[in-house]
Amino acid sequence: MRFIRIDKEQENVPVLQNVIYALRLVWKADKKLLIGYFMQEIFGNVFSWFIRNILFLKVLLEIITGNKDFGVYCRCLILFAVLSVADKVVTWTGMRIQKKATKNVLKNINNMVFDKAQTLDVSCYEDPAFYDKYQRATLVVTSGYFDIICYDFASMLSGIISMICVFATVMSINPAYLLFLIPVFFVFVIETAKSKYVYKRDMEMTSNNRIKAYVQRTMFLREYSKDMRTSNIFSVLMKRFEAAIDSNIKILKKYGVGLFAYSMVSSLFEEFIPVIGSYLYAGYEFVSRGTMTVSGFSVVLSSINSVREVTLDVTQCFDEMNQMALYFQNLRTFFEYQPSIVSGEKRAEPFESLEFKNVSFRYPSAKSNSIENVSFKLTKGETLAVVGINGAGKSTLLKLMLRFYDVTEGEILYNGINIKEYDLNSYRNAFATVFQDYKNFAVSVYENVMCRVCNADDKQAAMQALKNSGAWKKISTFSKGGDTVLTKEFDKDGAGLSGGENQKVSTARLFARDFDVAILDEPSSALDPIAESEMYDNLTRVTENKTVVYISHRLSSAALADRIIVLEKGSIIESGSHSELMALNGKYTEMFSLQASNYNKEAI
C-alpha cells in the first residue's frame, strides 16, 4: 500500500494565519460561540489559576503572619466568596451560549460547504486527489474542530493572562525565579514541531482511511448486497480493508518513536527544570539563607505548581491549535478554490443553434485527445443522434456541450456566440438532460421528478411525466403512489425500484420540464426492447417541434433522428440520415445490423 507524499506546501502551513482564518469563519457563522467560550475559560481559569490558588493564598498568609485583625480576614473571605459565585454564574451563562451557538456554527458552515461544492468543476469529482482534499475539508466540519479551536483559543488566552499575573506575583517576591520558568517557552516550539509531525502521519493515513470507509460503506448499501452474496468480491474488498489497516499500523509504528522523543523533551522543559529547579532554590533561600518568609515560600511553590498546570494546559491547547490549523488549511483551500469553468455574463436566449467548430479536447491527466477536431451544427427543431461504441467520446461530447469542461481547441457556439460568454446557469437551463449514470434520491417519487417540494399542481405534472416515461404503472401500485419515498434508507415504508424502473423515474424529469433542447444520454440503457419502444414513442410525441440530441451506443433511437453522427476514437467518421448511412454500408451499417440481429434473437 502506497504512502501519501507530504509536499512542502503541507509541511509549511501558516499556522497563525489559519487559526485567524478559522476564528473569522466562526465569527461570521455565529460570533456567540467565541463569546461563550471566552466567558467560560477566561474568567474561570484566571480565577482558578491565579486568584484562588495564589492571590487568595498570598493575601491570607500575609494577614495571618502580619498580625492583622480577624475582621480584615473575614472581609477578604467574603470578597473571594463573591468572586467565586460570579465565576460560576459567568461560566454557566457562557456554557449555555456556547452550546446553542455550536449548532448554528455547524449549520451555517455546512451550508457554506454545500454552496461551495456546487461551484466546483465536474473535473474535481473525477480526480481521486480531490476526494482526499474534500474528505479532509469536511472532516473539519463534521468532527467538531470549530468547537475545539474556539475552546483552545479561549483557554490559551486565559492561560497567558494567568501566567502574566503569576509571573508578576513571583517577580514581586524574587525575580530570580523567572529563570526557572524560561524553559517553559521552549515547550511551544517543541509542540509546534510535534503537531506538524502528527499531521504528516495523519496525511499518510488519509488514503488508507478512505479505502476503509469505502469498504465499510459498501457493506451496508442495498445496490451491492446481491453481488456480495453471489461472488467472491467480499474477500477482495476485505483484503483491501485489511491491507489498509496493516498499512496504518506500519505508519503508526514509523512515527511512534519520534512522537515519544517529542513528548520526553517537552516534559523536560515543561515540568522537570521549572519544578525541581524552583523547589531547590526556594528551599535553599528558606532553610539555608533564611531570606524568604513562610508566605513567600508558600506562594512561590504554589505559583510554580500553577505555572506548571497553566503551561500544561496552554501547551495542550497550543498543540491542538497547531493541528487544527493544519486541518483548517484543507478547508481554507477548499473555500478558496477557484473553478476553471468561469461563468460569463450573457443570458442565454431561446435556442436557435449549437455549433461545434473544430473542437478538440483532452482530459487533464490524459496523454491523448478524447475528442479530435469535431465540427457539426445543431439547429432548432432538429433531432440529432450521436452514436458509437463505448469509449468513442459520446459522453465527453455531452460534457463539452453542457460546459462541464472547456474545449482544448476550437470553440462551441450557442446561437452564434461562444458558450464561455453565457451565464452558466442560464445556459445549462436551456437543456433538459437525462444522464447515462442516472441517480434518484431518498425523497418522494414526485420530488424526484420535479426536483422540488411539490404542491398539488406539481404532483399532477409529475404524475403525467411518470406516465410518459412508463414509470407510473409501477408507481401506482404503491400504497402512497407518487408520495412514496424511494429507498428505505430514511423511511421504513420506502420503495426499492429495479434498474429499468429507476431509469424511467429519472427520465420523467425531462417530461416534466419546459425545455429548448432535450439531451438523452443512453436513455434506455436499463430498459427491455418493449419498454424502450414505448418510451421512444412518448419521447417523439412530447418532443415534437423540439430540438433533441440522442447520445447512445444502442441505435434504436437513431432511426428517429434527422441526422446521425458516428463517433470513433473521438472523431466523426460518418454523418447523415439513417437511410444515407445505411446506403454507405460503413461503420453505422455494421453496428445497426449487428444490434438488429441481437434484437431478433431476444424476440425468439
pLDDT in tens, 541-561: 777 778 888 887 767 667 778
Q: How far is CA 106 from the centre of its chain?
A: 13
Residue from 311, 371, 525 nearest 438 by CA: 525
318 vs 505, which has greater pLDDT? 505
Question: What band does 4 get if pLDDT is binned at 50, 70 and 90?
Answer: very low
Question: What band does 56 get if pLDDT is binned at 50, 70 and 90?
Answer: confident
Other C-beta atoms within 10 Å of 70: how many? Answer: 8
Identify each DSSP E strand in 68-212 by its residue range: none
pLDDT in tens, 561-593: 889 999 999 999 999 998 899 999 989 888 888
* Torsion angles phi and psi, residue 551, rounded to 5: -120, 115
Task: Name the CATH superfamily for 8-336.
Answer: ABC transporter type 1, transmembrane domain (1.20.1560.10)
User: Which fold is adopted by the domain 343-430+517-604?
Assistant: Rossmann fold (3.40.50)
Give the C-alpha distances (Å, rounded to integers) separating 288 from 49, 242, 298: 30, 65, 16
Angle, vertex CA 401, rays to CA 397 and CA 402, nearest 5 = 120
Q: What is the arithmetic mean of pLDDT over 232-240?
A: 82
pLDDT in tens, 375-406: 999 999 898 999 888 888 888 898 999 999 99
Residue from 426, 408, 415, 411 nearest 360 by CA: 408
pLDDT in tens, 318-365: 777 777 777 788 888 888 888 888 889 999 999 999 999 999 999 887
Residue from 469, 470, 449, 471 nearest 461 by CA: 449
65-79, 380-394, 413-427, range with the lowest pLDDT: 65-79
The answer to whether residue 7 scores a pLDDT higher than 50 is: no
Sequence spans of domains, the chain: 8-336, 343-430+517-604, 440-514
Q: What is the arithmetic mean of pLDDT over 11-29?
A: 82
- Residue 531 is placed in which grid cell? 419498454
CA quadruple 333, 336, 340, 341: dihedral sign: positive
Question: What band does 6 get if pLDDT is binned at 50, 70 and 90?
Answer: very low
Tell me what pLDDT residue 414 has. 95
The answer to whether residue 441 scores a pLDDT higher than 50 is: yes
The answer to whether residue 235 scores a pLDDT higher than 50 is: yes
HEC per residue, 436-462: CCCCCCCCEHHHHHHCCCCCHHHHHHH
pLDDT in tens, 173-210: 777 776 777 777 777 778 777 877 887 888 788 888 88
Kind and range of the H or E run holding 521: strand 517-521
Other C-beta atoms within 10 Å of 274: how many? Answer: 23
Tell me what pLDDT residue 524 has. 60
Whether the model clears a pTM of 0.75, i.e. scores above it, the answer is: no
